[in-house]
Structure formats: C-alpha cells, structure tokens
Amino acid sequence: MLSRSESKYIQTLSHKKQRDAERLFVVEGNKLAKEVLNSNYKVDKVYATQSWMNGNQKIEATLVTEDELQKISNLQTANDVLLIVEMSPYQRITSFKNTITLALDGIQDPGNFGTIIRIADWFGIQQIICSKDCVELYNPKVIQSTMGSFIRVNINYVDLDTTLQEANVPVYGALLNGGDVKEIEKPQEGILIIGNESKGIREPLLSHINKAISIKRIGGAESLNAAVATGILLSHLV
C-alpha cells in the first residue's frame, strides 16, 4: 500500500527544482528499469506491481496496485515498475582527442534530446557536451526517450564557447550552407555541433566551426528535426 504522502513526494520529482534538491530522478518501465538496475546507478526505491515482482523476486520492491502506479507515473499508461534513482555526478570531459564528440547548442525539446542521446549510443559516441540552457538530462521525458542510453553516454553541461575554443580538434557545424556531408572524409576525431531546433547554431559559436556540413535537400521539406539530422550526419561521419 502506497501512502498519500509518499505518493505526493514521488509526484514532486516530476519538477526539476525538486529533483535538484533531492538529487533523485524517476525511471519507469520494464526495459529502462532492467538497464538501470544492472548499471552503476544507485537505486533508492523500487515500486512495482505484483506481476513485475513475480518475475524479479531477488529485487526488493514496494508492492503497488496498477492504480497506485498510475498516480505516481509520468506516463500516460504506467508500466509495471517505477524506480527512484540517485543522480550520478557529471564526469568532466578532459579530452576530445581520438574520438567524436557531440555538442548540443540550446536543445530544448526533451524528446529530441533523449533521442539524440540514444542515436549517439547507437553510433558509439561516448560523450556529449551541452550548452547550459539545454534541457536537463534527468527530465522524465528525456530519460524515457533515451531508452537507457543515458547510462552509456557521458553528458556534460559546459560553456560551449570556451570549451570549443580550447578543444584543439576539428569542429564540424550542421549548417544549411555547409558542404555535403556525403563528401566529407570520415574523421578520427572532432566535435559536431547541433543547433537549437528553431534557431540553429548561435552566432558566438560559428567562429569555432572550421568544417561546415549539411544534409543536401532533394524534396520540399523546409527543415529536419534535430535528432533526425544528428542521426544522418553521424551515419556519414562515424
């Protein structure tokens, strides 16, 4: 049985201010729960239905009904299990050598951000640097969209202008007037900047770009979703 006060407390973790204060975030669903439980993240509490507990008898969990789980869920339809997880300290990125790094400039949409993390994981990208106004990693929609990839990709929030200036590797920028990415030689190292969904890469960062690239348009679409563009660019660069 889930108490009213405990239920309300879990619901408060849908707000960034409370997550930051408690240093906790929410993970939901069978697949994500399995990934987190098998990772280095420390799980504070598990809330699960009887059917989930029957298949995971070695894991200590608080039994909840489907209705109780729905009340504390951020999903339209709750999915058997919800974890309260401790935030992991951000691991500072110290080198950009011999690897491809993503740089996200002002990405605001949680679904886009989570999907970009998932795409990065697919292509073996192990680190992403984000401007400080990017959406928060532990936003429930971000976590859900990553499908567990946030566990394997190191995310850092930095001053992009300073970081790019000091990186000492080629900097690629996704720009409409860039060269065709299909004609770019695959790099051994570098940083790929993806700009804000509607505004693109901000002016102060443009001076750091020494290799402007683009996806050549064939049809009539005005633009591409940031996550889709990231996937296409990485498929040619990695």
In whole angstroms, what is the distance from residue 203 CA to residue 183 CA?
A: 25
In angstroms, the CA 198 to CA 204 distance is: 17
Domain ranges of the chain: 4-86, 100-237
Confidence class of residue 197 from pLDDT cuts 50, 70 and 90?
confident
> What per-residue confidence (pLDDT) applies to 104?
98
Q: Is 124 helix (H, G, I), strand (E, B) or coil?
A: coil
CB-count burial class (<10 Å; 0-12, 13-18, 19+) for 179: middle
- The yes-or-no verdict on residue 3 having pLDDT over 90 is no
103 phi/psi in degrees, rounded to 5: -125, 125
Mean pLDDT of 18-47: 96
Nearest Cα to Cα of residue 10 among 25, 21, 31: 25
Checking if the pLDDT of 218 tops 80, the result is: yes
The one-letter code for the residue type at 237 is: L
Residue 41's pLDDT band, with cuts at 50, 70 and 90, is very high
Question: What's the pLDDT band for 90 if we cut at 50, 70, 90?
Answer: confident
Give the residue-averaged pLDDT of 205-223.
91
Whether the per-residue pLDDT at 152 is higher than 80: the answer is: yes
Amino acid in position 111: G
The CATH-assigned architecture of domain 100-237 is 3-Layer(aba) Sandwich (3.40)
How many whole angstroms separate alpha carbon 148 and alpha carbon 115?
A: 11
For residue 138, name the pLDDT band (cuts at 50, 70, 90). Answer: very high
- Is the CATH number 2.30.40.10 carried by domain 4-86? no
Q: Which residues contact 134 (CB under 8 A, 6 or more apart)?
A: 104, 105, 106, 107, 108, 113, 157
One fold for 4-86 and 100-237: no
Q: Output DSSP code: residue 163.
A: H
In SS3 terms, 51-66 reads as: HHHHHCCCCCCEECCH
Instruction: With 0.75 as the threshold, say if the pTM is over it.
Output: yes
Task: Please report, in angstroms and rounded to a whole number, the separation of the first and last CA atoms in the chain.
Answer: 50
Nearest to 143 by CA among 110, 172, 119: 110
What are the residue ranges of helices labelled H in 38-136? 50-55, 66-72, 110-122
pLDDT, mean of residues 66-83: 94
